[in-house]
Amino acid sequence: SVSVMLFTSDLRVHDQPALAAAVRDATEVVPLFVRDPGIHRAGFDAPNRRAFLADCLASLDDGLRRRGGRLVVRSGDVVDTVCRVVTGTGARSVHIAAGVSGYAAGREEALAAALAALGCALRVHDGVITALPPGRVTPANRDHFAVFTPYFRRWAAAGVRPEVTAPRRITVPEVAGEALPARAEVAGVSPGLAVGGEEEGRRRVKSWLARAGSGVDAYEERHDDLAGDATSRLSPHLHFGTLSATELVRRARDRGGAGAEAFVRQLAWRDFHHQVLAARPDAARADYRTRGDRWRDDEKEITAWREGRTGCPIVDAGMRQLRHEGWMHNRARLLTASYLAKTLYADWRTGAAHFLQLLVDGDMANNQLNWQWVAGTGTDTRPNRILNPLAQARRFDADGSYVRRWVPELASVPGPAVHDPAPADRARLGYPAPLVDLGEARDRFSRARGLGD
Ligand code: FAD
């Protein structure tokens, strides 16, 4: 008998419930990845993610080969391609991880219908992509939590599923596939892009959890230190599923301590946003909560923001890190997003689209809902607060090292003075004057939200 394991955002062999079920279900398994033009049409295949994905597929193929199998890659519409593989191999079941986006839901529905017509079952597995499946904990009378703190209480009490051991042996039937895509073939990749793949992800987790006094142990004190760069950088691995979120929660809890607890709480934020998107797929585009905003749309300002030339050094540093690495520190994401959505009062969708174009961890749930959180149209319980980028800079980049690292024009300005260079120094160093006056921008935003000056 034959089953098909359709990989999506779960590109691993360890702690992989869908793959384990596909192997249990049949004597032969087709481990399948479909390069779906629908992803391209939706604009999700930005170069950084395509390059990282190529690493992930190569590593997944290695992992399967070590178990006697291999990865089968095909290009084409996902439903047609899966049906062709099912017809060609006589497969009786297709296994897939439950997705949370509108796109994933549509794919599951279309697959279920098309496979039913072929007498083949679609088996959708929970607990593959998030630590806790969306909908596993809910408030009374609602399908999802709209506030993080009560969600987190229930999430923490719920516990996670036990570990699923990786299959020891995988036998793949005769089936044609294409060459694996190569990272080197992708143009327009950020020069500092991280390496992808399950092996790299597992190596990172190991060192993240083992470094005594640094890594996860120091996470609580150091996670907001912009220059210290002391977060896990596991987000792209979680996005592509080269790491299991469940396994990470389990292992961090086993490690214990205040750092591990703070880290697990961030993993719960990931689940939180996924359960919001699963219940409200429209929140990928529409305001989760409407505030009557009439966003400004000043193309010149938005371009300066995208290019890291706003004249606000901490904002420019973040935007340039994003372009160079395809990744940005969380504190920098918060303050650059706040600068766009509240200081410039530009539509959060414009900022979210730019992030998605570059972020290697760019994710519908985390990106769109964090943007909404910052813009005050999402789940923040204080939607009208506005971050002062200068105060943020002085607090989270106290000696200015982060700015000097990413804004080389300002590398000669010592200490915290780099956060607000004098006009003469800006002109001399070729660094722009501030795009807006922060005080005036704050007043404009307050008026727009009906709060008065
Ligand atoms: P760590 O601090 O080591 O945290 C561990 C993990 O917890 C992360 O890898 C991530 O999976 C999860 N996590 C941490 N913070 C958050 C959060 N606020 N929301 C959801 N999950 C979180 N994260 C993405 O994965 N993809 C995105 O597209 C994305 N876009 C964002 C856009 C904005 C405007 C903001 C403010 C945040 C965004 N985040 C996004 C959340 C967060 O910034 C990143 O997950 C984090 O910076 C990744 O770095 P890390 O792995 O070192 O995080």
At 136 the pLDDT is 96
Domains of the chain: 2-126 (3.40.50.620), 130-161+199-279 (1.25.40.80), 299-448 (1.10.579.10)
Nearest atom in ligand 1 to the alpha carbon of residue 233 is 52
* Angle made by CA atoms 22, 28, 34, in degrees to the nearest 5: 65
263 is in an annotated binding site: yes
Residue with CA at minimum distance from ligand 1 atom 10 = 235
Annotated binding residue 233: yes
Contact between 274 and 306 (Cβ < 8 Å): no
Q: Is 363 a known ligand-binding residue?
A: yes
Q: H-helix or E-strand containing 350? A: helix 348-358
Residue with CA at minimum distance from ligand 1 atom 44? 330
User: H helices of 26-77, where?
Assistant: 37-41, 47-65
- Cα distances (angstroms) measured from residue 21 to each of 26, 105, 132, 148, 165: 9, 21, 18, 32, 11
Residue 80: φ, ψ to 5°:
-60, -45
Q: Is 362 annotated as a binding residue?
A: yes
Give the torsion through C-alpha atoms of 148, 149, 151, 154, to 10 deg: 160
Compute the distance from residue 331 Cα to the ligand 1 centre, in Å.
10
Closest residue by Cα to residue 73 from 97, 53, 48, 47: 53
- Say whether 102 sits in a helix, a strand or coil: helix
CA of 366 to the centre of ligand 1 (A): 7
Q: How many CB atoms neighbour CB 437 within 10 A? A: 11
Hey, which bits of 126-281 come out as E strands?
none
Report the predicted TM-score, pTM, of the whole model to 2 decimal places.
0.97
Residue 453 has a pLDDT of 53
Residues with Cβ within 8 Å of 190's Cβ and at least 6 positions away in sequence, in order, are 47, 48, 323, 324, 325, 326, 358, 360
Q: What share of the chain is helix, strand, coil (3-state, %, to 5)?
A: 55, 5, 40
Q: Residue 285, class by beta-carbon neighbours within 10 Å (0-12 exposed, 13-18 middle, 19+ buried)?
A: exposed
Q: pLDDT 10s per residue in the chain (453 long)? A: 999 999 999 999 999 999 999 999 999 999 999 999 988 888 888 999 999 999 999 999 999 999 999 999 999 999 999 999 999 999 999 999 999 888 899 999 999 999 999 999 999 999 999 999 999 999 999 999 999 999 999 999 999 999 999 999 999 999 999 999 999 999 999 999 999 999 999 999 999 999 677 899 999 999 999 999 999 999 999 999 999 999 999 999 999 999 999 999 999 999 999 999 999 999 999 999 999 999 999 999 999 999 999 999 999 999 999 999 999 999 999 999 999 999 999 999 999 999 999 999 999 999 999 999 999 999 999 999 999 999 999 999 999 999 999 999 999 999 999 999 999 999 999 999 999 999 999 999 999 998 865
